[in-house]
């Protein structure tokens, strides 16, 4: 692939306190160099001789490719971030920023604070939309590596010295202030609108249990911590209990195969949460059966291991626990 140079997005003569000379040098010598480097690396990879060259050389080239590719992408975003008056944020963007940072002022303090923290070093400060979380976050990108997987940067501040030294010398904070004065918020807003169209990663879908409501482990923890009455049933299969070492604190184990034996011990006035090992099958099925019998039952998504993954408290699942469970059922 041959990468094409993007024309300069901002109009350098309109900027306030950032000279055309600085932008020209930056565009030509740094953005241009990154693009040329990227094309050289790209050609080397295309012509790579797998029979005579080591895999380590290939891995090195691929690492260099990331640096050069991201440098071009981020420089294009940087030039596209400039050209406005930096003052007025369109409502949609101001609201999104206020939701995720508390207020536009707090966002600004954090963004500028990060940039000042990078002064004298190098790196990028990015405002990035994360589709999984549906939120904006400020981040540092070192070595041109915008390393929030799946994140979509919508505003970029270049804190490499080449971005300001020519005009501002070591006075990085004056450069940061000038950048903030020139942000093109209407362009950022359009990029935000594009970013929020990016779908979050696909969630786990269990079509056969689509009509059975689930509850997250975090929600269950909250219920327990707030003292909400809830009946939590561990329905890991009986054969599994022979190797189980622990059981969720607050849960009782019940044999899912003998549901008829223990369903009568449950209260219909308190919610029921069921779970199995990973939350795929048995916990869902049990919740479904309980719902049909009139219980307010949900399955805990992710099951026993999701509970452990959030460091939810567990207790020893020994023979005693198993015997006690059986005794409770039959008593
Ligand atoms: Fe740069």
Cα(52) to centroid(ligand 1), Å? 36
Retrieve residue 42's tokens: 């790209």
pLDDT digits (tens, 9 = 90+) for 87-99: 999 999 999 999 9
Cα(27) to centroid(ligand 1), Å? 8
Local structure of residue 60 (DSSP, 8 states): H
Cα(196) to centroid(ligand 1), Å? 27
Cα(116) to centroid(ligand 1), Å? 16
Cα(93) to centroid(ligand 1), Å? 26
Q: Kindly list the distances between the CA atom of residue 291 and the CA atoms of 6, 129, 215, 298, in Å, as whole numbers in the listed order.
A: 59, 39, 14, 8
Cα(124) to centroid(ligand 1), Å? 9
Cα(263) to centroid(ligand 1), Å? 66
Cβ-proximal residues to 245 (8 Å cutoff; 6+ apart), any chain: 316, 317
Cα(173) to centroid(ligand 1), Å? 16
Mean residue pLDDT across the chain:
92
Examine the pLDDT at 251 and tell me if it is beyond 50.
yes
Cα(247) to centroid(ligand 1), Å? 54
Cα(162) to centroid(ligand 1), Å? 6
Retrieve residue 259's tokens: 């549901």
Examine the pLDDT at 145 and tell me if it is beyond 80.
no
pLDDT digits (tens, 9 = 90+) for 97-109: 999 999 999 999 9
Examine the pLDDT at 331 and tell me if it is beyond 50.
no
pTM: 0.83
Looking at 64-73, 202-211, 250-259, 292-301, which range is the least confident one? Answer: 202-211
CA 40 to chain centre: 32
Cα(110) to centroid(ligand 1), Å? 21
Examine the pLDDT at 303 and tell me if it is beyond 70.
yes
Neighbour-count burial for 244-263, b at 16+ CB within 10 Å, e otherwise: beebbebbbbbbbeebeebe
Examine the pLDDT at 325 and tell me if it is beyond 70.
no
Cβ-proximal residues to 165 (8 Å cutoff; 6+ apart), any chain: none
pLDDT digits (tens, 9 = 90+) for 184-238: 999 999 999 999 999 988 888 888 898 999 999 999 999 999 999 999 999 999 8
Q: How confident is the model at residue 328 (pLDDT cuts 50, 70, 90)?
A: very low
Cα(97) to centroid(ligand 1), Å? 26
Cα(126) to centroid(ligand 1), Å? 13
Cα(178) to centroid(ligand 1), Å? 16
Cβ-proximal residues to 278 (8 Å cutoff; 6+ apart), any chain: 302, 303, 304, 305, 306
């Amino acid at each position: 692939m041959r990468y094409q140079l993007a024309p300069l997005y901002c109009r350098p003569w309109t900027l306030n306190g950032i000279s055309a000379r600085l932008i020209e040098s930056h565009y030509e010598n740094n953005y241009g160099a990154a693009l040329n480097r990227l094309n050289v690396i790209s050609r080397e990879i295309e012509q790579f001789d797998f029979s005579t060259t080591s895999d380590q050389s290939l891995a090195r080239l691929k690492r260099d490719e990331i640096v050069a590719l991201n440098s071009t992408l981020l420089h294009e975003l940087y030039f596209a971030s400039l050209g406005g008056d930096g003052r007025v944020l369109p409502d949609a963007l101001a609201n999104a920023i206020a939701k995720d940072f508390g207020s536009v002022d707090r966002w600004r303090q954090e963004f500028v604070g990060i940039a000042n923290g990078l002064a004298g070093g190098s790196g990028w400060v990015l405002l990035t939309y994360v589709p999984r979380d549906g939120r904006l976050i400020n981040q540092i990108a070192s070595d041109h590596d915008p390393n929030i997987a799946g994140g979509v940067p919508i505003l970029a501040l270049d804190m490499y010295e080449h971005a300001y030294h020519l005009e501002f010398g070591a006075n990085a904070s004056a450069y940061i202030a000038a950048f903030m004065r020139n942000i093109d918020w209407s362009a950022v807003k359009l990029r935000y609108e594009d970013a929020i169209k990016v779908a979050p990663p696909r969630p786990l879908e269990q079509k056969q249990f689509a009509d059975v409501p689930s509850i997250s482990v975090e929600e269950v923890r909250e219920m327990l911590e707030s003292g909400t009455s809830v009946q939590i049933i561990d329905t890991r299969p009986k054969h599994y209990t022979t190797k189980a070492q622990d059981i969720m604190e607050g849960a009782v184990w019940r044999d899912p195969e003998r549901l008829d034996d223990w369903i009568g011990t449950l209260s219909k006035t308190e919610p029921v949460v069921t779970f199995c090992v990973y939350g795929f099958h048995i916990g869902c099925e049990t919740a479904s059966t309980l719902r049909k019998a009139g219980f307010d039952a949900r399955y805990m998504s992710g099951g026993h291991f999701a509970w452990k993954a959030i460091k939810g408290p567990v207790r020893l699942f020994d023979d005693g626990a198993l015997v006690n469970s059986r005794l409770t059922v039959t008593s």
